[in-house]
Amino acid sequence: MHDVAQFARLMQGNEAIVEGALAAGLRFFAGYPITPSTEISELLSARLPLYGGKFIQMEDEMASMAAIIGASLAGLKSLTATSGPGFSLKQENIGFAAMAEVPCVVVNVQRHGPSTGMPTAPAQGDVMQARWGTHGDHPIIALCPASVQESYSLTVVAFNLSEKYRVPVILLTDEVIGHMRERVILPQPGEINVVDRKKPQTGLEKYYPYQPGEDGVPVLANFCENYRFHVTGLVHDERGFPTASPEIAEKLINRLNNKIVDHLDDIVMSESWLTKDAEIVIVAYGAVSRSARKTVKEARAAGLKVGLLRPITIWPFPEAEVAALAQQVHTIIVPEMNLGQLKLEVERVAKGRSKVIGVNKVNGELITPSEIFDAIIKL
């Protein structure tokens, strides 16, 4: 048996994303440098060619998103990385990827905004943008790491979910997690579960690119492998050709969303800590969840029954977990580096069964344990 310690490395969060992407099978990256995600692009420019992959710096974020869509249709696992302003520019093509069911991964290392904001300061202001940034009723998966180790592991998960459900997946990290350094255990080859997209089992004449399987997900053939099919952002039939049929449009939009909703047990992830006897629960994600964990320790030491629920999957939102806690506790505290974006979801799910209090900070600094503890004391 190998000594696990020999595979440990001191690693930055953005660097861990690079290693996780390569382990998941990344073979194409297109991006445009933007703080605080630039290290991902910089490292992949050197690392990706060593794996036989392709790296290209595009002229802007819109072109970067378009490029990874094209590469994915050609059969390559594809990634782009950006921050807030670049994420805004990618939204139209993220919508195209959702409609055309093109698997790809988008990393957003969140920073302070709006607009240029404070490029080197952390924030969590893109939570709602990750879900609703592109127009229309579209499916989305967004994962939120809280450590450098998770930056690695959730990157692998992001690729797996993208390939499995033919959907763009957002890795929604932040400047603190992206730039901090921690000890990371790198699994050995063969120890990682890597999911590849399904291959068509039918002949060329019988292949329909948008004919769903039993799981609601169509099988995606690669371009340039003799399968001829049409890809469009328009509402389309199972052959991929545009249509104005109301019946086909409704069926398509419902299927796009149901392929995610019907598999929540496979997709949604969260972490509960000391919640079984809790009277107060903190719901925190990303870098702020680290402060929240410290707060729980201090509260327990003071004799207060406080627990922590950490959504790992921000979208789809872990409704069942929050609903169960809302029936149990008298107060839910939601600290976040914005003015209350995820708090809105907690309130929606809690339905008044427990009080929901926000601890909000938008000055470019991380919320501290003492600031969360102060909210508990005020109760």
Name the residue ranges covered by the structural domains of the chain.
4-185, 269-378
pLDDT of residue 92: 97
Reduced to 3 states (helix: H, G, I; strand: E, B; else coil), residue 303 is coil
pLDDT of residue 312: 98
Which two structure tokens, joined as six digits, stand for 274?
């000391």
Contact 4, 142 (CB under 8 A): no
Sign, Cα dihedral of 205, 208, 213, 218: positive
pLDDT of residue 2: 43
Task: Walk along the chain (379 residues) and give the pLDDT tens digit of each residue.
Answer: 344 445 789 999 999 999 999 999 999 999 999 999 999 999 999 999 999 999 999 999 999 999 999 999 999 999 999 999 999 999 999 999 999 999 999 999 999 999 999 999 999 999 999 999 999 999 999 999 999 999 999 999 999 999 999 999 999 999 999 999 999 999 987 889 999 999 888 777 788 999 999 999 999 999 888 888 899 999 999 999 999 999 999 999 999 999 999 999 999 999 999 999 999 999 999 999 999 999 999 999 999 999 999 999 999 999 999 999 999 999 999 999 999 999 999 999 999 999 999 999 999 999 999 999 999 999 8
Q: Long-range CB contacts (< 8 A, 24+ apart) of 194-200?
A: 194/23, 194/24, 194/25, 194/156, 194/159, 194/160, 195/159, 195/160, 195/161, 195/163, 195/164, 196/25, 196/163, 197/103, 197/163, 197/164, 197/166, 200/227
Vertex 68 angle, CA 66 and 69, to 5°: 65
Q: Which fold has domain 4-185?
A: Rossmann fold (3.40.50)
* pTM of the complete model: 0.96
pLDDT of residue 314: 97
pLDDT of residue 154: 98
pLDDT of residue 206: 84
CATH class of 269-378: alpha beta
pLDDT of residue 5: 44
The answer to whether 4-185 and 269-378 have equal CATH topology is yes
